[in-house]
Amino acid sequence: MLWAAMPSYRLYCLNGAGHISFAVVVEAADDAEAVEKAREKNNGAIKCEVWDGKRLVATLNVHDLAD
């Protein structure tokens, strides 16, 4: 039986100056799960971008990231 690896997404979160405050790779089954993980891991950023390779999956602003 073959096991398929979960896709890896890159999460970049930006600070108030528009600079990357942190970046992390997350594994998620699909785009929706990757976006949810971005909401959980945002670390107080004002904007986060979720990328799948060269494809921008989502841009989340401070309102999207609020608890």
Q: For residue range 15-51, list pLDDT tens digits in order.
A: 888 899 889 999 999 999 999 999 888 878 889 999 9
pLDDT at 9 exceeding the cut of 70: yes
pLDDT at 66 exceeding the cut of 90: no
- Measured from the Cβ of residue 62, the count of other Cβ atoms closer than 10 Å reads 13
pTM of the model: 0.84
Of the candidates 50, 49, 46, 51, the residue with the CA atom closest to the CA atom of residue 63: 46
pLDDT reported for residue 3: 59
Question: Regarding predicted confidence, which is higher, 3 or 51?
Answer: 51
